[in-house]
A and B are shown apart, each in its own frame.
Chain A
Amino acid sequence: MSAPFDAIVIGAGHNGLTAAAYLARAGLSVVVVEQRDVIGGATVTEEFHPGFRVDTFAHRMGPFSPRVFEDLRLRTYGLEMVWPDPARVAMADGRALSLFRDPSQTAEAIRPFSSGDAARWPAFCRTVADAARLVDAVRQSQPPRLPDPGLRDLLRLAAIGLGLRRRGKRAMAETLRLLPMSLADLLDDWFESDVLKGAVAGAGLPGLMQGPRGAGTAYALLHHLAAGEAPGGVTLVRGGTGRAAEALAGAARAAGVEIRTSAPVERIGVRSDAAVEVVLAGGEVIPARRILSSADPKRTFLTLVGPEALDPAFVRQVRHIRMRGACAKVHLALGELPRFPGIGGGDAELRGAVMVAPGLDYLERAFDDAKYGGVSERPFLEAVIPTLTDPSLAPPGRHVMSILVQYAPYHLKAGAWEAARREALGDAVVAVLAEYAPNLPAAVLHRQVLTPLDLEQRLGLTEGNIFQGEMALDQLFFMRPVPGWARYGTPVRGLYLCGAGAHPGGGVTALPGYHAARAVLRDMSAS
């Protein structure tokens, strides 16, 4: 048997790679084992039709941690982020509403829909930015040990509270009120235009098994915003989000990390309550002093560790984590660009996200279908045309469209996700888009549909949940992934979580991986 690694990271998703890179930079010997033959996890760009490449799941960034970007010098490893402007174009009744990065420009775009809303938009952006600043501060730090925080935690919490208070009483009051709200309540407070409300709500809902009237969905909107970004902001990667994973892998390898693909983990070996080795599907055993799993908590504890090695009360908590998959992906290889008569301004307008979310009731009805185990008859769509940012993703003159579709529940009430169901979903998506871009159906050369079941099977996301656990108020911060274990360590000594199932959750942010590596290094220096 070979000498044990200092650390094994399970899963070469962007969080696993981030954790590996930080550990190796601190001098640890690290190996990453990835079940697929490609790295990236849900941050991967693959060919889905000869000559056409697309982001298999995440088609925009999280927002990605600037600190990780700088620390790991990801620019030198090929990561180039792009901020399209307008960030989003929301389709509605023959017209379109563009959300720009500059609030005053967006206000002008809103004016034809409602002059009152246009006037209120900048103040709304400021209110949301205040709240996003708080969320960002929380995101940048490890969750405190509640309800009995140590002195350090207490000081950090006090600093966050004072930081908020320093922005004024009103800002603090508004933030506290906003955090637990529903998107519908929040937007109804501010605006009258249903088109605008749909566009903003649509920016917060992706990945959630909630409609806009679900309490806690306003938080989800904040989660998508880096401090200072206007609501609806979108960050893309030139060449696809897979480039982010490749850059992270480059940085990791440069720091000495070994990355093994086609190495699916069968189980995590536990002896005397400590994780000691990883057993691969072929039977190969890799010993290690510590193991970081970027697989979701259910997979990590119920499959890889196994309930028998864990306290039953903890197992029960893990089983209770809600991770109902809510979305599907549809990928189109296009012979020509879709033309949206509602959108003026040419192709540049389409470089961000094109949304079909024409109102709060539309979104809520799309959710109603899923609530009872059905697929939305008229789904909510967020489409990106990555070839407008990087034409090399398709043959010359051709295009790719990546569409996030909601709601497509993992658990169907009737029937299963078989081929006919998958194609019906694809048909519905193209039909809805065709209402806004009549040339689209004829332009489709090839179509790929990935259901929540496909996402589970292909990417290893339990129930196809892209956040590795719903981003609901009771599953965030010091409650994530389960109460009492929010600081990356687990009841198994030497086993850590470093994926989106841990604080601060999903999206291509690199933060769970970063925090997990820090937790490992902290524990090492403490012992």
Chain B
Amino acid sequence: MKRAGFDAIVIGGGHNGLVNAAYLGRAGLRVLVLERRHLVGGAAVTEEVFPGFKYSVCSYVVSLLRPEIIRDLDLPACGLEILPLESTFTPLPNGDYLVRWADHDLTRRELYRHSPRDADAYDEFGRLMHQLAFAVKPVLGMIPPDVTSFAPSDLAGLLRLGRYVRGLGADRFHALVKLMTMSAADYLEEWFETESLKATMSASGIIGTFLGPRSPGTAYVLLHHYLGEIDGVFRAWGFARGGTGAVSNAIATAAERRGVTLRTGAAVARVITRGGRARGVVLESGEQIGARVVVSALDPKRTFLELVDPAELPGELVADIRRFRIRGSSGKVNLALSELPDFTCLPGFGPHLRGAISISPSVEYLERAYDDAKYGAFSRRPYLDIVIPSLIDPGMAPPGKHVMSIFVQYAPYQLNGGWTDARREAFGDTVIDTLSQFAPNLKSAILHRQVLTPADMEREMGLTEGNIFHGELSLHQLFSLRPATRWAQYRTPIAGYYQCGSGTHPGGGISGAPGRLGALRILKDLRQ
């Protein structure tokens, strides 16, 4: 029999909510996680959408999960197993292709085929990015200071930041400033000449944003590619065995082992507050559960405008959250295939299919895809990032069959005329047509198809506007400004009410960092 009552309730069983709960549980708190859906994981779930075919429905690759979280929660012992993503394969319309392999020498040889200069630059670029990834690590693990405050803890934070910047040295500091402010295309232009290389690399800078590769502010996401690698825990990008849901399940197991209670099918209607303090939550069923700490892992719009009455919050914060940019820009197409796609430019079912397949032939291609979305249409020729997990993890599909996950950009949430069933299918057709140009056998190989628009992701995963990062990662929505100045420290104006989702620093992706930092904040506050 459990003791009655909980110390803390975490709203939302996505990976950040679970990480947060696990850390609180680890510190001895009695924690309850409430998840609206029938399974935990949020946007990091594996589901059997069609009989026998399992999908990482939303998020489909892992690279950013913080090593300290893997260590602290002992996730490998909880079933986490990362399988390497071997390559990035970019088929080109002229019949050629570009592949970057996990094997350095192979990549070098392939790049040399396109441009000897780029092959040399690639190594130097890699070294710099590694250095910079090391350089930003402390910032990703830091609770951002409130820059408007003269409180000792905030001034200390500023001072720490100043010392950190100083310790970087001029070269790394300047390189970081450039990365933070430039466009991915401009940044790569300084290094490379091969169009498909620049395009495929810059594509990683636009994922999840409502920006094109030529928009300033897209360069720093390039760093993410190098963040996973540096700790030697696993490779830059990978799959979790069992799909992305297995990551969530491992964290959930870790949380349960630390005494955390998980409840699915429990949608929270609102947070109970009295006298400016959080006292617990009310479920949509009407059930009330008390706790002295309530943590929202939902996005800032839901955290501040739906779970609590905005009238209880300072008007400035409400205004900030209302104007917080959270425009969804991507969709997802999940296919069940009777056979593997056969690419005209590189026929056969070789190792190039085991990694990522990127439809990003040129920067202009990506930029034009963005132009469509700017004016409210989905891209006529979208950027696609494709993986076939069943090649690496056969358990994902029946024998001889395959699952294919296609991340699609751009698909604006605010579509002209709105998203309808017909538009969803037209969007799916566009994706299939785009890919079929490179792999003509695709259409006949499709057994089932699932199309997710940003509107679907909002409805099913609870992502406002279908934004996969809980808010765009633009410069004015990062660090001390995420989600709002003065409220970037995981607290809220309501005592005992905290935030820990991707809408807080350091943002989206399966990093777990917001969940962990939120927990550290809470534990520190409880000690005081």
Asked if residues B485 and A173 are in contact (CB atoms below 8 Å), the reply is yes
A176/B485 in contact, CB under 8 A: yes
B173 touches A472 (CB 8 A): no
A364 within 8 Å of B (CB atoms): yes
**A421 contacts across to B, CB distance below 8 A:** none
A213 near B148: Cβ-Cβ < 8 Å: no
Please name all residues of chain A whose beta carbon is closer than 8 Å to the beta carbon of B178 when the two chains form the complex: 474, 479, 483
CB distance from A18 to the nearest CB of B (A): 28
> Out of B165, B166, B181, B374, which one reaches A472, CB within 8 Å?
B181
User: In whole Å, how far is B527's beta carbon from the nearest beta carbon of chain A?
Assistant: 27
How far apart are the CA atoms of A472 and B325 in the complex, in Å? 22
Interface string of B260-274 (1 = CB under 8 A from A): 000000000000000
The answer to whether B215 has its CB under 8 Å from any CB of chain A is yes
A26 contacts chain B at the CB level, 8 A cutoff: no
Cβ distance A152 to chain B, nearest Cβ, rounded Å: 16
| B474 CB within 8 Å of chain A | yes
Give the chain B neighbours of A111 by CB distance below 8 A: none
Given known A-B contacts A180-B181, A474-B181, A148 and B166 have beta carbons under 8 A apart: yes
B481 at the A interface (CB under 8 A): yes
Complex: how many Å from CA A234 to CA B215?
28
Decide if A178 is an interface residue (CB 8 Å cutoff): yes
Given A147-B170, A165-B148, A169-B148, the answer on whether A215 and B485 have CB atoms closer than 8 Å is no
Query: Would you call A371 an interface residue if the criterion is a C-beta within 8 Å of the partner chain's C-beta atoms?
Result: yes
Within 8 A of A (CB), among B470-486: 474-476, 480-481, 485-486
Inter-chain contacts of A361 with B (CB < 8 A): 375
Residues of A within 8 A of B211 (CB): 213, 215
B147 contacts A176, C-beta separation under 8 Å? yes
CB of B187 to closest CB in A, whole Å: 9
Do the beta carbons of B168 and A147 come within 8 Å of each other?
yes
Contact with B along A417-453 (1 / 0, CB 8 A): 0000000000000000000000000000000000000
In the complex, per-residue mask of A350-394: 1 if CB is within 8 Å of any chain B CB, else 0: 000000000001001000100110000000000000000000000
Residues of chain A contacted by B168 (CB below 8 angstroms): 147
A189 to B320, CA, bound (A): 10
Within 8 A of A (CB), among B135-175: 147-149, 165-166, 168-170, 173-174
Given contacts A213-B215, A214-B216, A215-B215, contact A372 B364 (CB under 8 A): yes
- Cα A322 to Cα B219 in complex, Å, equals 15
Q: Is B182 an interface residue (CB 8 A)?
A: yes
Closest A residue, CB atoms, query B148: A169
Given known pairs A147-B166, A176-B485, A372-B364, the reply for A214 and B215 (CB within 8 Å) is yes
Smallest Cβ-Cβ distance to B169: which chain A residue: A147
Q: In the complex, what distance in Å separates the CA atom of A368 from the CA atom of B325?
A: 23
Is the beta-carbon distance between A180 and B323 smaller than 8 angstroms? no
Are B174 and A484 in contact (CB-based, < 8 A)? yes
Residue A483 contacts which of B177, B182, B215, B325 (CB distance < 8 angstroms)?
Answer: B177
Q: Are B486 and A173 in contact (CB under 8 A)?
A: yes
Cβ contacts under 8 Å, B506 to chain A = none
When distances are taken between beta carbons in the complex, the residues of chain B under 8 Å from A172 are 147-148, 485
A177→B474 contact, CB < 8 A: no
Query: Once the chains are docked, how many angstroms separate the CA of A146 from the CA of B480?
Result: 21
B47 interface contact, C-beta 8 A: no
Q: Does B301 contact A (CB under 8 A)?
A: no
B361 to chain A, nearest CB (A): 15
Interchain CB contact (< 8 A) of B186 among A170, A176, A322? A322
CA distance A215 to B210 in the complex (A): 12
A147 CA to B149 CA, complexed, in Å = 23
B421 at interface, CB cutoff 8 A: no
List chain A residues, Cβ under 8 A from B480. 176
State whether B170 touches A483 (Cβ < 8 A).
yes
With A214-B216, A474-B178 given, name 7 new contacts (CB 8 A).
A172-B148, A176-B147, A180-B475, A213-B211, A215-B217, A371-B214, A484-B174
A interface, CB within 8 angstroms of B: 146-148, 165, 169-170, 172-173, 176-181, 185, 189, 210, 213-216, 320, 322, 361, 364, 368, 371-372, 472-474, 479, 483-484
- For the complex of A and B, 5 pairs with smallest distance between CB atoms: A483-B174, A173-B485, A180-B475, A473-B181, A147-B173
Can you list 24 A-B contacts with CB-CB less than 8 angstroms, sorted by A residue number? A146-B165, A146-B170, A147-B173, A169-B149, A169-B486, A176-B147, A176-B481, A177-B481, A180-B474, A180-B475, A181-B476, A210-B216, A215-B475, A216-B181, A216-B217, A322-B186, A371-B367, A372-B364, A472-B181, A472-B216, A473-B475, A479-B177, A483-B174, A484-B174
